[in-house]
Amino acid sequence: MDEYGSQVVGWERRETQCGKVFYLNFKKTFRLLLKACCLDELATRESVKAALTVDGADLFKGCTHVSTGIKIIDERGVHPVTKQPFSVPNEDDDNVIFVRVQSSEVCCVMMIADAVDSKALYKDVFKAYYDWGETCEKMVYQSQT
């Protein structure tokens, strides 16, 4: 499974000042998520709504597990497994009805840190992730002008 994941997405493990961190290939991971939600072709023509996420949990004293990810929040997508649309038009009027989806079902992990939760983790270690997110945002604004 590791070998297959490495071929399809690409990842690497780094020792950081905060602990072990696993980095997935951000671009490949995001493209696979867009494809799973049937938004990949649309994303080549116009903006697709996504959100950067960070979540963590205490594992034991002095060590946490912190993950970064990207989540699809675009109503034009479909559930990656069931292929049910995120939203459907109401037949009685022009309102859109949103289908309930667990956010974890449309989110991909980008980085996993088995590390001490600290300012350095967010400022230094997750910097590549935040910089990548900023690059995505700039691409959207450039395409709109």
- Kindly state the tokens that stand for 103: 């956010």
Interval 75-105: pLDDT, tens:
888 888 888 887 766 666 667 666 666 666 7
Answer whether residue 108 is part of any domain.
Answer: yes
Number of domains in the chain: 1
- Rounded percentage of the chain residues whose pLDDT exceeds 70: 81
Q: Whole-model pTM?
A: 0.80
Answer whether residue 142 is part of any domain.
Answer: no
Answer whether residue 43 is part of any domain.
Answer: yes
Alpha carbon 115 to chain centroid, angstroms: 20
Whether the per-residue pLDDT at 130 is higher than 90: the answer is yes
Answer whether residue 18 is part of any domain.
Answer: yes
Output the pLDDT for position 101: 67
Structural domain boundaries enclosing 54: 2-73+104-137
The more confident residue out of 141 and 136 is 136
Answer whether residue 50 is part of any domain.
Answer: yes
Answer whether residue 99 is part of any domain.
Answer: no
Answer whether residue 24 is part of any domain.
Answer: yes
Answer whether residue 96 is part of any domain.
Answer: no
